[in-house]
Amino acid sequence: MIPVFVALAMCAAGVVAVSVGTPGSAHASALSAGPWPAPAPPESAHVLRPHATDHVGCYSNVSIQAVANGRWVSAELDYSGRDYGMLRARATAVAAWEKYAVCYDDSTHYWYFYSTANNKYVSTEVEYPGADYGMLRARASVVAAWEEYNVYCNNDHTISIQSRENHHFVSAERDYRGGDNGMLRARASVIDSWEKYRVSLSGHHQPC
């Protein structure tokens, strides 16, 4: 699939569409919400929709903080092999590896995440076994099924991320040890504290 960058803003209001482009495109027009094809959100959450006043193709310089441990989500670019680009909630400050573009596709109503540190899209590794199943990695050159996510607003103004490939919510594995501590995995069937995140959106509407 050819990646399409469209308008993103973090609120459950009206939808905005942007012409095809790259992160930072800014030609928006109104679009009705239409049906949502994903599974119904949890009772405590509602679907995140673009906000009509943030006319951007994708948010840049987005940072994501895990509620589970208060750490910022890093893309581990010095890891090798099957762990390259692993997303981990492990940073105490935001630097290059903790910055992302976050985008919304209004034609299919999914969100996707793009590491600006290595220019790769975030994938859910649904073929990994065991404790690595559902690992999130910044490693894809195009957006396909493994790079598609639903995003929900929780009642406490945090967000939760759900893989559209396996329908599981993304957890921050705070009990993992060593280089896996804080690994992000799409593996939870319900939202709890490990599945909640805060985001930093410089100069734009805050989510939820």
DSSP 8-33: --SBBS-EEEE-S-STT---EEEE--
Phi, psi of 118 (to 5 degrees): -130, 5
Segment 12-36 mean pLDDT: 28
Cα–Cα distance between 108 and 208 in angstroms, integer?
Answer: 21
Counting residues of the chain whose pLDDT is more than 90, the rounded percentage is 61
* pTM for this predicted structure: 0.77
Give 22's pLDDT tier (boundaries 50, 70, 90): very low
Give residue 106's region: left, alpha or beta (phi > 0; psi -120 to 50).
alpha
Cα–Cα distance between 94 and 24 in angstroms, integer?
Answer: 20
Closest to 101 in 3D by CA, of 61, 149, 64: 61
Give 200's pLDDT tier (boundaries 50, 70, 90): confident
Contact 173, 183 (CB under 8 A): yes
Choose the CATH number for 58-201 among 3.90.1200.10, 1.10.10.60, 3.40.50.720, 2.80.10.50: 2.80.10.50
Contact 65, 73 (CB under 8 A): yes
- Residue 99 CB-density burial (10 A; 0-12 exposed, 13-18 middle, 19+ buried): buried
Closest to 18 in 3D by CA, of 101, 100, 99, 107: 107
Closest to 114 in 3D by CA, of 106, 97, 125, 102: 102
Residue 122: is its pLDDT beyond 90? yes
